């Protein structure tokens, strides 16, 4: 099993490292509702990570993220499907920290390197799953372009209204985390291999790891 991604300073365009743009807070220096929220995270699963501690600068954001995250974890969508959708969305956003985190989670759930790479490309070997990933990216890119035919296509593949609604929520959660990390300047210590442009065989990408 791969290790969870560590966070480092983000890199400037000229290659020089700099501090994150937004400062993460230590639990001990917070108080009130923010301290209560961070203590709750610590009690459930260890010390809050850099993203959560940076979100602590804005109590409303932190509380909203934690509540939506917990609600999404109770979704009907299988965890492997959720991670693939998250990978597709984060690849589109370009959040390296999120790509690393969701790749780690996907591997812990038993997804292969090929499945992870395909998910980052917004597709899958299984037509029904590929349709979900394509729909998720449409929700992210242009939700107003989604029409009756798109929903009918998903239903014909066996996806019900609950699946469709949960995907919208999952995309929204990923947009929040990805955009926040990019604005805050949070990067993993080691990025996942970049996906080259053009049509490259998946087997070649797996070999590059």
Distance CA 209, CA 113 (A): 9
Domain residue spans of the chain: 7-74, 76-209
pLDDT band (50, 70, 90) for residue 190:
confident
Distance CA 108, CA 80 (A): 10
pLDDT in tens, 10-60: 444 444 446 899 999 999 999 999 999 999 999 998 899 999 999 999 999
Instruction: Decide: 135 and 155 in contact? Cβ < 8 Å.
Output: no
The dotted CATH code for 76-209 is: 1.20.1290.10
- List the alpha helices (DSSP H) in the chain: 32-45, 50-55, 59-73, 79-93, 96-108, 113-120, 127-141, 148-156, 161-184, 202-207
Distance CA 179, CA 95 (A): 8
pLDDT in tens, 119-144: 999 999 999 999 999 999 999 999 99
Nearest to 135 by CA among 202, 195, 88, 79: 88
């Amino acid at each position: 099993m791969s290790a969870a991604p560590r966070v480092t300073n983000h890199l400037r365009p000229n290659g020089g490292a700099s501090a994150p743009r937004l400062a993460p807070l230590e639990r001990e220096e917070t108080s009130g509702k923010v301290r209560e929220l961070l203590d709750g995270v610590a009690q459930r699963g260890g010390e809050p990570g850099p993203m959560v501690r940076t979100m602590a600068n804005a109590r409303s954001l932190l509380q909203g993220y934690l509540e939506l995250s917990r609600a999404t974890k109770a979704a009907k969508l299988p965890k492997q499907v959720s991670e693939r959708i998250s990978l597709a969305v984060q690849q589109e956003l370009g959040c390296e920290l999120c790509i690393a985190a969701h790749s780690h989670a996907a591997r812990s759930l038993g997804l292969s390197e090929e499945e992870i790479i395909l998910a980052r490309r917004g597709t899958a070997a299984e037509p029904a799953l590929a349709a979900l990933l394509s729909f998720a990216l449409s929700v992210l890119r242009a939700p107003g372009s989604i029409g009756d035919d798109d929903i009918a296509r998903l239903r014909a593949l066996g996806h019900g209204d609950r699946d469709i609604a949960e995907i919208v929520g999952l995309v929204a959660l990923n947009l929040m985390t990805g955009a926040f990390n990019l604005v805050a300047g949070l990067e993993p210590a080691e990025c996942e291999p970049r996906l080259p442009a053009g049509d490259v065989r998946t087997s070649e990408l797996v070999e590059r790891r």
